[in-house]
C-alpha cells in the first residue's frame, strides 16, 4: 500500500488504509424531503454551512418526485447542484409533463471536502503532493451498520441512514425509497413490477459520533472520540455521473438511490418506471427499476423518455 496508516483487525472485515489522498467529507446540512416548494421554480435554494475554499457536493436521498393528475404523470427530477455561497446550496430541477403549482419535494445530504488543517486534533497524513485530514471539528458520517444481506424484493434498513452497497448481478436494479431497498428484475420486458433477489454487502452511514473499540481510536482534548476504526468514517474513492452505460468503481461501494425515470412503450401502454442502480463486476449504470404506473398511448402526455439525474455521485472504497 502507499505510505500511511494500515488498520487490520483480522475480524473478517476489510483492512482500512488511511493514505495521502483519502478524503473524509464533512456534513454541511441537508435538504429535507418533507420540505416542499412550487414546481414553477426551476431551482431550489437551501441552507448549508460550508467553509471557504472547500469542495462542496450533495448526495441525493430523494431525487425523483412523480405526480399523477388526470392520467398524465408529471415527473420532476433533480438535475444538478451548485454552491451559491458558504451558507447556500442550490439544486436545479428538470421535468417531463411538468406544470406550475405542484408542491414537489426533494431530499439531499450536503458535504464538503476540507483542505488540510495543520494544528487540528485528529489524523493528518501527507506527502509532497497530497494529504488526508480527519479533524476533531469535522462533522463526519460513520458506518452504523455493516453486513451482508439478501434483498428479496425489498429490505427495510435496520438503522436510519444513507445506504451504500456492493453486489454483482447485471440483471437486477436496486433503489432506495427512503425506508426500503427495492430489488427489481431489469431484464423483464412487460409492464408488471417484477421483483428479484440479490445478496449485497451493505453499509449504512449516519451522522453519529464514532465509538471506541479494538483498533485505532483518537479523542480530542475534551475527551470526545473523533475517529474510530470500529465505526469507520465515510471516505471518498471518487465521483461519477451515472449514465445508461457501465462505468468502473473498482471494488468499491456505490450509493443505492433512485437516479432517474423512464418510459417504455410496451404491451400497448406507456410503462413509467423509476430508475435505480445496476452493478456488475465492479461497474455501475442507471437501469430501469420499479413501476410507477401504466398509461394510455393516447393520453397526450410527453412519452416516451429516459432521463438520469445530472450530478456527480460519490463512491467509496471497500474498507468497511
- The CA dihedral of 260, 264, 267, 270, to the nearest 10 degrees, is 70
Lowest mean pLDDT, pick from 72-86, 148-162, 214-228, 247-261: 214-228
- What is the widest separation between alpha-carbon atoms in the chain? 68
Q: Does residue 123 carry a pLDDT above 60?
A: no
Higher pLDDT, 123 or 76: 76
Lowest mean pLDDT, pick from 61-75, 118-132, 134-148: 118-132
Which ranges in the chain belong to alpha helices (H)? none
265 closest CA partner among 288, 289, 290, 297: 297
76 closest CA partner among 84, 87, 68: 68
Q: Does residue 129 carry a pLDDT above 50?
A: no
Q: Does residue 7 carry a pLDDT above 70?
A: no
pLDDT of residue 144: 93
**Measured distance CA(199)–CA(40) in Å, rounded:** 41
DSSP state of 233: B
82-122, pLDDT tens digit by residue? Answer: 999 999 999 999 999 988 888 999 999 999 987 655 444 55
Q: Does residue 279 carry a pLDDT above 80?
A: yes
Residues 6+ apart with CB under 8 A from 127: 3, 20
CB 276 within 8 A of CB 289: yes
CB 66 within 8 A of CB 76: yes
Cell 404491451, located at residue: 267
**Measured distance CA(62)–CA(64) in Å, rounded:** 6
Q: How far apart are the first and last CA of the chain?
A: 17
pLDDT of residue 206: 93
Structural domain boundaries in the chain: 4-315
pLDDT of residue 235: 86
Lowest mean pLDDT, pick from 85-94, 204-213, 275-284: 204-213
- Per cent of the chain over pLDDT 90 is 60
Query: What is the residue-averaged pLDDT of the chain?
Result: 87
Higher pLDDT, 253 or 113: 253
Amino acid at each position: 500500500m502507499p505510505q500511511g496508516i494500515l488498520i487490520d483487525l483480522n475480524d473478517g472485515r476489510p483492512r482500512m488504509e488511511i493514505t495521502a489522498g483519502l478524503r473524509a467529507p464533512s456534513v454541511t446540512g441537508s435538504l429535507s424531503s418533507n420540505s416542499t416548494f412550487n414546481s414553477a421554480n426551476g431551482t431550489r435554494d437551501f441552507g448549508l454551512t460550508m467553509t471557504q475554499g472547500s469542495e462542496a457536493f450533495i448526495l441525493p436521498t430523494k431525487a425523483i418526485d412523480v405526480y399523477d393528475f388526470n392520467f398524465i404523470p408529471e415527473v420532476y427530477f433533480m438535475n444538478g447542484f451548485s454552491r451559491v455561497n458558504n451558507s447556500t446550496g442550490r439544486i436545479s430541477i428538470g421535468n417531463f409533463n411538468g406544470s406550475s403549482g405542484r408542491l414537489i419535494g426533494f431530499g439531499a445530504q450536503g458535504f464538503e471536502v476540507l483542505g488540510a488543517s495543520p494544528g487540528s486534533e485528529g489524523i493528518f497524513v501527507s506527502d509532497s503532493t497530497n494529504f488526508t485530514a480527519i479533524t476533531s471539528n469535522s462533522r463526519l458520517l460513520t458506518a452504523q451498520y455493516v453486513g451482508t444481506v439478501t434483498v428479496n424484493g425489498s429490505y427495510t434498513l435496520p438503522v436510519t441512514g444513507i445506504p451504500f452497497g456492493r453486489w454483482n448481478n447485471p440483471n437486477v436494479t436496486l433503489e432506495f425509497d427512503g425506508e426500503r431497498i427495492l430489488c427489481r428484475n431489469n431484464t423483464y420486458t412487460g409492464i408488471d413490477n417484477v421483483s428479484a433477489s440479490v445478496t449485497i454487502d451493505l453499509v449504512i452511514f449516519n451522522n453519529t459520533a464514532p465509538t471506541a473499540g479494538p483498533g485505532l481510536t483518537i479523542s480530542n482534548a475534551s475527551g470526545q472520540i473523533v475517529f474510530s476504526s470500529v465505526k469507520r468514517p465515510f471516505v471518498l474513492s471518487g465521483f461519477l455521473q451515472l449514465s445508461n452505460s457501465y462505468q468502473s468503481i473498482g471494488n468499491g461501494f456505490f450509493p443505492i438511490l433512485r437516479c432517474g425515470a423512464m418510459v417504455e412503450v410496451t404491451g400497448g401502454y406507456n410503462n413509467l418506471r423509476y430508475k435505480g442502480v445496476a452493478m456488475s463486476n465492479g461497474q455501475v449504470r442507471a437501469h430501469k427499476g420499479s413501476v410507477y404506473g401504466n398509461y394510455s398511448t393516447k393520453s397526450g402526455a410527453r412519452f416516451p423518455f429516459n432521463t438520469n439525474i445530472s450530478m456527480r455521485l460519490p463512491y467509496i472504497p471497500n474498507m468497511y
